[in-house]
Structure 1
């Protein structure tokens, strides 16, 4: 398994109504966060500690809420808010 990000439960649900420019920024930052998580949790599938809490990421024009799950080697994008 290798680290990746995905929308949870689906892109249609999480990104509904968000401008495409914001979605591009969300996906760009998600890629960076996945790279950082893969370096921090070297063997994510074997991780035994407490999982990190969900976090907010602020971007120009909006924000998104994400959750890193080391044992799944995934970053889940849970909510996108545009302003």
Structure 2
């Protein structure tokens, strides 16, 4: 299994109503988060500690995302999207 990101909870539903350029910005930020998590947690599936606390990060284009890293699943989940560009 390799590191990936995906929407969780209602974030996928919320993403359907957002402008395409903002969605592209979310994807770029999420890809960077995946690369960072993969570098920090090299032994992802064998990890035995607690998952890091979820955080927020700004997204270019007028918004932010809240994300959660789940190390043993090798996933970064986007759990909330805030867009103020409407």
What's the TM-score, normalizing by structure 1?
0.90
Following superposition of structure 1 onto structure 2, how do residues 63-74 of structure 1 map, counting pairs within 5 Å? 63-74=64-75
Following superposition of structure 1 onto structure 2, how do residues 4-83 of structure 1 map, counting pairs within 5 Å? 4-9=4-9, 12-60=12-60, 61-83=62-84
Deviations along 1:20-57, whole A, 9 cap, x unmatched? 11111110011011011101000111111111011101
Alignment partner of 1:71: what SS?
Answer: coil
RMSD: 1.5
What's the TM-score, normalizing by structure 2?
0.87
Structure 2 residue runs of 5 or longer lacking an equivalent are none
Instruction: Assess, with a 3 A threshold, how the Cα gap between structure 1 residues 74 and 12 changes in structure 2: closer, same or farther.
Output: closer
Paired residues, what number? 83
Measured in 1, the distance between the counterparts of 2:3 and 2:14 equals 20
Q: Runs of 4+ in structure 1 displaced over 2 angstroms?
A: 9-12
